[in-house]
Chain A
Amino acid sequence: MANAAEIATAAARADVRNRWWLAAPALAIVLLAAIGPLVVVVLYSFMVKGDYGDVKYWQFSLDGWFSVIFERDVFDDTLKLADAHLTILWRSVKLSVITTLVTLLLGFPVAYFIATCDRRWRDFWLFMITLPFWTNLLIRTFAIQEVFRNEGVLNSALLWLGAIKRPLQIMFTDLGILLGMAYVYLPLMVLPLYASLERFDFRFAEAAADLYASNFKVLRRIIIPMVRPGIIAGSILVFIPSLGAYVTPRLLGGGRSLMLGNLIELQFGQGRNWPLGSALSITLTGGVMLALLVYVRAASKSGSGHHG
């Protein structure tokens, strides 16, 4: 018995060793090319803004952070909440949540379809999902414009069918942004969902069906809970990039209403206020990080108990 205990401690030690060296390359790359730069951004947010972009090095200032939430009115110099920033934040969060929901509702059936089709065809369908995305984002967005435009494919078809009398204005609206982002981010939802679903053991479903559960009940009570990690991964992959999205809102929304990504870009570009841009992005990053930590905690607690 003593022997078994020894083996157990040795295994535990190996476990600790493994969890570090296996993760080391990813951690190192992320540290160098993502965390390091983030530190730069944090430093920048505390410096005085340069006259024409950039910052004045090592001159400390809280102005950047201050103007995330408050602003001095241009005209009467009174201090007030930066409601422009809050409005933009709210719009971005709203659109991103809806985008995530839409991609989930559409992506789940797609992933399910791929995961349950004949094994030999799975790679084919998987490839079909990614293929449109081998076409560059800008080209794809232009192509979507061609579909949505007043004289575009969609409106022409609907007019021809007599479903509508006048072309629908989709381009340059929030609906346009939403549809465009759902299109662009769909594979980011489908692939993680597929990776989880493909693993799903349908004997569980059969067992439930034997107990007279309807297919829908099987889906709701068994399949969805078991592929939850995939749903979480997909939602993260869609939600976060759409929160910072920049190209799609600009091209499909016509850039008339700023999104968070555009607001930050404005500060680093024409606005020439890098500290404010830095502070805005750290606020965004911090918020998302926090949400993610809570999410991962909750998810691994309610996990299927595979660990140890």
Chain B
Amino acid sequence: MRSLVTAAASIFALLHIGTANAEGVLNIFNWGNYTSPELIKKFEEKYNVKVTITDFDSNDTALAKTRQGGNDFDIVVPTSTFVKIWIDEGLLLETRPDQMENFKNVDPRWVNVDFDPGRHYTVPWQWGTTGMLVNTSVYSGDPNTSAIFLDPPAELQGKLSVLPEMGDILTLAIYYEGGTDACTSDKNILRKVRDRLVAARPKWLSLDYPSLEKYTAGDFDAGVNWGGASMRVRLENPHFVYGYPKEGYPIWMDNVAVLKTAPNVENAKLFQNFVMDPENAALISAYARYANGIAGSEKFMPEEMKNAPEIVVPAEFLDKGRFTPACPPEVNEMYTKIWTEVLK
């Protein structure tokens, strides 16, 4: 019955277009399937605001759309790699989250980040790592190395799934070949990276976002994957372990920012403050399965997440993780050429 009412209301809403500027609205532009409905309901009830959620499926799409403008978005959630681009292009509003009430809850580790020093624009949403997911019943060697996909052991060849993220994959390969800068223009390293990837690609099975059951059903025995997604696989099949490449691996963080063109700035600021509350941050994590960067949220987290090795990075691998910066245009151009070369 409730849905019927929603349905009727939606038809009505469709006829009355352009109400987005009305008071009590907040338009969120976020990754798909990433925003906890519970969190939104709580926010709506607390501040008497109607929230709309619109999805994007890549940082580049989100950036392109917002730059062109005219979409009524208030909140956007870009990844650490892109935050600096957003700021430099003048797309974000300097809302000074560091002066907000709940800022005290932000884990000090995430305050002075390279992409937004002192947090003048953005608030942590979730963070995670990109690493190796390996089925130990198929391969019992060390999972903590990028060799899993760059120089695959015989058992895993033809059973590997690799994320279609140019940046992440090249970064892992650069670290593997001894590079330390994710945006290196050192041609000696890049040549090795290219040769390595060209040689490795025929041994992969797929280059797409893997769905959980392809791991659990045995289509894939290993792959490059994100921590949270890997935890879900492990919960279904305990033979899977998540490895942190000892050569180095990328850390990423998605961040809540307010757009300069936001029609509802006040609500957007309320939202930034709202997600820095530990209880609310825990809702985000419980839904999307990643850590959130808010101190004190652990005690509100679901039990299976509190000590999950995919989410709480073990101490020995902590210093191997690095944020990937946005690579300068000329480096990105080289990367695109290498990537095309690999996938041709």
Interface residues of A (CB under 8 A from B): 49, 51-54, 71, 74-75, 83-85, 87-88, 149-151, 171-172, 250-251, 254-258, 263, 266-273
Also in contact, A150 and B340, with CB within 8 A (given A52-B329, A54-B64, A256-B206): no
Chain A to chain B contacts (Cβ below 8 Å), 26 pairs: A49-B329, A51-B328, A51-B329, A53-B60, A54-B64, A74-B190, A74-B338, A75-B190, A75-B191, A83-B344, A171-B206, A172-B206, A250-B208, A251-B208, A254-B205, A255-B164, A256-B207, A266-B166, A266-B336, A267-B336, A271-B332, A271-B339, A271-B340, A272-B60, A272-B329, A272-B336
Q: How far is the CA of A268 from the CA of B64 in the complex (A)?
A: 9
Is the beta-carbon distance between A266 and B340 smaller than 8 angstroms? yes
Cβ-closest chain A residue relative to B332: A272
B29: interface (CB < 8 Å): no
Cβ-closest chain A residue relative to B205: A172
- How many residues of chain B are within 8 Å of chain A by beta carbon? 39
B167: interface (CB < 8 Å): yes
Q: Which residues of A lie under 8 Å from residue B236 when comparing CB positions?
A: none
Task: Name the distance in Å between A276's Cβ and chain B's nearest Cβ.
Answer: 9
Cβ-closest chain B residue relative to A88: B344
For the complex of A and B, list the 10 residue pairs with the smallest distance between their C-beta atoms, beginning with the closest.
A254-B206, A271-B336, A84-B344, A255-B207, A269-B60, A51-B329, A255-B208, A270-B166, A258-B343, A87-B344
Is the beta-carbon distance between A54 and B67 smaller than 8 angstroms? yes
Task: Name the distance in Å between B19's Cβ and chain A's nearest Cβ.
Answer: 25
Cβ-closest chain B residue relative to A272: B332
Is the beta-carbon distance between B187 and A74 smaller than 8 angstroms? yes
Q: How far is the CA of A161 from the CA of B275 in the complex (A)?
A: 56
B334: interface (CB < 8 Å): yes
Q: A255-B164, A255-B207 are in contact. List 5 more A-B contacts (CB 8 A).
A: A52-B326, A53-B60, A85-B344, A250-B164, A271-B336
Is the beta-carbon distance between B64 and A171 smaller than 8 angstroms? no
Q: Which residues of A lie under 8 Å from residue B339 when comparing CB positions?
A: 266, 270-271
Task: Name the distance in Å between A121's Cβ and chain B's nearest Cβ.
Answer: 34
Cβ-closest chain B residue relative to A76: B187
Report B171-197 CB contacts with A as 1/0, cut-off 8 Å. 000000000000000010011001000
B89: interface (CB < 8 Å): yes
Q: Which residues of B lie under 8 Å from residue A171 when comparing CB positions?
A: 206, 219
Q: Which residues of A lie under 8 Å from residue B194 when comparing CB positions?
A: 74
Interface residues of B (CB under 8 A from A): 58, 60-61, 63-64, 67, 85, 89, 164-167, 187, 190-191, 194, 201, 204-208, 217-219, 326, 328-329, 332-334, 336-341, 343-344
Q: Which residues of A lie under 8 Å from residue B217 when comparing CB positions?
A: 149, 151
Task: Name the distance in Å between A256's Cβ and chain B's nearest Cβ.
Answer: 5
Q: How far is the CA of A258 from the CA of B85 in the complex (A)?
A: 28
Is the beta-carbon distance between A151 and B201 smaller than 8 angstroms? no
Most B CB within 10 A of own CB, among A52, A88, A256, A270:
A52
Q: Which residues of A lie under 8 Å from residue B334 when comparing CB positions?
A: 74
Is the beta-carbon distance between B333 and A273 smaller than 8 angstroms? yes
Is the beta-carbon distance between B338 and A254 smaller than 8 angstroms? no
Q: Which residues of B lie under 8 Å from residue A272 when comparing CB positions?
A: 60, 329, 332, 336
Is the beta-carbon distance between A269 and B61 smaller than 8 angstroms? yes
Q: Which residues of A lie under 8 Å from residue B341 when comparing CB positions?
A: 84
Q: Which residues of A lie under 8 Å from residue B85 when comparing CB positions?
A: 52
Is the beta-carbon distance between B336 and A254 smaller than 8 angstroms? no
Q: How far is the CA of A267 from the CA of B339 in the complex (A)?
A: 11
Most A CB within 10 A of own CB, among B63, B337, B341:
B337
Q: Which residues of B lie under 8 Å from residue A150 when comparing CB positions?
A: 218-219
Is the beta-carbon distance between A257 and B343 smaller than 8 angstroms? yes
Cβ-closest chain B residue relative to A73: B337
Q: Which residues of A lie under 8 Å from residue B333 when comparing CB positions?
A: 271, 273
Is the beta-carbon distance between A263 and B164 smaller than 8 angstroms? no
Cβ-closest chain A residue relative to B85: A52
Task: Name the distance in Å between B219's Cβ and chain A's nearest Cβ.
Answer: 6
Is the beta-carbon distance between B343 and A256 smaller than 8 angstroms? yes
Q: How far is the CA of A273 from the CA of B337 in the complex (A)?
A: 11
Q: Which residues of A lie under 8 Å from residue B328 when comparing CB positions?
A: 51
Task: Name the distance in Å between A273's Cβ and chain B's nearest Cβ.
Answer: 6
Is the beta-carbon distance between A270 and B344 smaller than 8 angstroms? no
Q: Which residues of B lie under 8 Å from residue A268 when comparing CB positions?
A: 60, 64
Is the beta-carbon distance between B340 and A273 smaller than 8 angstroms? no
Q: Which residues of A lie under 8 Å from residue B60 when comparing CB positions?
A: 53, 268-270, 272
Q: How far is the CA of A254 from the CA of B209 in the complex (A)?
A: 9
Is the beta-carbon distance between B187 and A254 smaller than 8 angstroms? no
Is the beta-carbon distance between A258 and B340 smaller than 8 angstroms? yes
Q: How far is the CA of A52 from the CA of B332 in the complex (A)?
A: 9
Task: Name the distance in Å between B107's Cβ and chain A's nearest Cβ.
Answer: 29
Task: Name the distance in Å between A174's Cβ and chain B's nearest Cβ.
Answer: 13
Q: Which residues of A lie under 8 Å from residue B67 when comparing CB positions?
A: 53-54
Task: Name the distance in Å between B273's Cβ and chain A's nearest Cβ.
Answer: 29
Cβ-closest chain A residue relative to B340: A84
Q: Which residues of B lie under 8 Å from residue A270 when comparing CB positions?
A: 58, 60, 165-167, 336, 339
Q: How far is the CA of A189 from the CA of B320 in the complex (A)?
A: 54
Q: How far is the CA of A53 from the CA of B194 in the complex (A)?
A: 24
Q: How far is the CA of A185 from the CA of B164 in the complex (A)?
A: 26
Q: Which residues of A lie under 8 Å from residue B336 when comparing CB positions?
A: 266-267, 270-273
Q: How far is the CA of A251 from the CA of B333 in the complex (A)?
A: 26
Also in contact, A149 and B219, with CB within 8 A (given A256-B201, A263-B340, A270-B167): yes
| Choice from A51, A54, A255 contacting B206 with Cβ under 8 Å | A255
